[in-house]
Amino acid sequence: MPTTEPNTKKVERVAELKERIDRSDALLLTEYRGLTVSEITELRRSLAEGGTKFAVVKNTLMRRAVNDAGVAELEPMLEGPSAVAFVEGDPVAAAKSVVDAAKKFPTLVLKGGFMDGKLLSAADAKALASLESREVMLSKIAGVIKSEMSKAAAMFVGAQSKFLGVLEAYKDKLPAEDVADAAAPAADDAPTAEASTDDAPAAEEAPIEDAEAPAAEAAEEPDQASDDDTTEAEASGSEEEE
């Protein structure tokens, strides 16, 4: 019975370590030989600001945890007093913090790590610290994207302005051509209009001639009437004489 409780605690501790490994974006293994409790606490606080948990582990339990988590490649590094940085965030920032702490506390040694399914040697882990942080890289990428978008926008505006200029020039030219085309048929129709105007008086004179004919006939009718009257008078006279 006394041995069951320690074993249970070990199993729980291994399960806890495995869960931390599964949640981590990267692992950094260190040897903390010679560090005091206050120095370890200071290091733990500095790493916690970047989302990294720094924990002192027992090698036997950590070996079980890395095997259970499928990262058995780390097992050879679990020698001596070990402390693991469980990185849940930017691995570069965490590596920088560990390297800076190693400069401040020379007894702290960065042994290596694990990231993106690959084992990192001590040199790889230190090289990771020399890279730019995720925030800086994202800022640079955003700057490049913004610059490219500005160039694209400028090109679009330039093309649009050029197109509008061509369109305005076409619009200015188009009415003049339409007026010239409209003037040509008008010039061709001008003689016909003049001919129609010249023929108009002749058409108006025709009724006048027609009107003169009845007048002449009307003038002749009185003469004929007077001749008839004279003849009738003469006939009357002749009858009286008889």
Q: Which of 69, 71, 80, 81 is nearest to 113 (CA)?
A: 71
CB atoms within 10 A of CB 48: 12
Q: Which CATH number characterizes residue 120's domain?
A: 3.30.70.1730
Total of domains in the chain: 1
Q: Is residue 221 part of a domain?
A: no
Amino acid 194: pLDDT: 47
Reading the chain (242 residues) residue by residue, the pLDDT tens digits are 455 556 899 999 999 999 999 999 999 999 998 888 998 998 899 888 878 999 999 999 999 999 999 999 999 999 999 999 999 988 998 999 899 988 988 889 999 999 999 999 999 999 998 887 555 545 545 655 666 676 667 676 777 777 777 777 766 666 555 545 545 554 555 454 444 444 444 444 444 444 444 444 444 444 444 444 444 444 444 444 43
Q: Is residue 224 part of a domain?
A: no
Number of CB atoms found within 10 A of residue 73's CB: 14
Q: For residue 62, what pLDDT is reported?
A: 96
pLDDT attached to residue 205: 47
pLDDT at site 156: 64
* 169: in domain: no
Residue ranges of alpha helices (H) inside the chain are: 4-23, 37-48, 59-68, 91-104, 122-129, 134-241
Q: Is residue 94 part of a domain?
A: yes
Q: Is residue 139 part of a domain?
A: no
State the Cα–Cα distance between residues 66 and 21, nearest whole angstrom: 8
Model-level pTM greater than 0.85?
A: no
The answer as to whether 82 is a domain residue is yes
Which pLDDT does position 219 carry in this prediction?
44
**Distance separating alpha carbons of residues 168 and 43, to the nearest angstrom:** 70
Pairwise CA distance, residues 191 & 50, whole Å: 97
| Alpha helices by DSSP H, 86-130 | 91-104, 122-129
Q: Is residue 240, in this structure, part of any structural domain at all?
A: no
- For 62, the domain range is 4-131
Q: Residue 172 falls within a domain, yes or no?
A: no
